Amino acid sequence: MSLPAIGQVLRVRTRPETQDYYQSRLVETGERDLFIDIPLHADHHTPLDPAEQEVWVEYHGRDGALRRFRTQVLGMAFLPSPAWRIVRPKPDEIAREQRREFVRVDTDIDVKLTVPLESGVQHITVRGHDISGGGLSVWLPRTVVLHPGVTVEAQFVLPYPEYPVHARCTVIRVGDRNERGLALASMKFEDLKESVRQRIIQYTFWRQLRSR
C-alpha cells in the first residue's frame, strides 16, 4: 500500500474505534519516519498531546478507499514549523478498508442543473459549494425550489484537468436560505460510471494538495 502524498489531509485517532479524530497533513517523509502537522481536534481545534505514544492514522487513496495504519509518536520536529515525527509504516502495515469513504472538498465550479417541472423542465446554472466522489452540493437561488428525493441532471466541468461531467443526482437535503436568499442543496450521484467517479476523486485529491 502506498503512503499519502505530501500535503494530503490525514485523520489521527487515539484508538481505532473512537469517533473523535484530529486533523493533520503529511509534511515530509524520511526513510524510517514521517513528519505531520500537529494534529488538531476536528471540532474544537485543540492539539493532540504528543504523549499519546500510539496513534492510528487514516487517509484516502486515489481510488477513494480509506487506508489506515498504526504508528508510534517519536517526538517533535521543527521544519521550521512544529511537527510530529512518527514511525513510517511498512507497506504491509497499511490496511485498506473495504468500504469507500469519499473526501469532500470545497469547489466553486459552475453547475448546470436540469430540474423537472410539471410543465416541463427548468435549466439553470448555479454555483457549486463542495464535491466528492459520492455527490456534490450547490447554492440554489430563490428561483429554484428543490425537495429531498427529487432527481435532477447536473453538468459541470472539472478544472484539473478539464473534464466534462454529466451526472444524474438525487437531492438528499436542502438547507434554509441565508441572508442572500441562497439555500444549500446536497445531492448524491446516481449510477455514475466508475471512470467518471475516478476523475472526480482525482480532482478532490488535487484540491487537497493545492490547499496546503
Closest CA to 202 of 166, 165, 171: 165
| Contact predicate 4/205, CB 8 Å | no
Say whether both 110 and 79 belong to one domain: no
Q: Indicate the number of domains in the chain.
A: 2
Q: Which domain holds residue 64?
A: 9-100
Boundary (domain end) residue, out of 42, 69, 100: 100
Pick out the chain residues at pLDDT < 70.
1, 52, 98-101, 211-212
Which pLDDT tens digit goes with each residue over 59-81?
988 777 789 999 999 999 998 88
- 3-state SS assignment for residue 67: strand
**Which pLDDT value is given to residue 212?**
54
**Which pLDDT value is given to residue 205?**
81
Average pLDDT value over all residues in the chain = 90
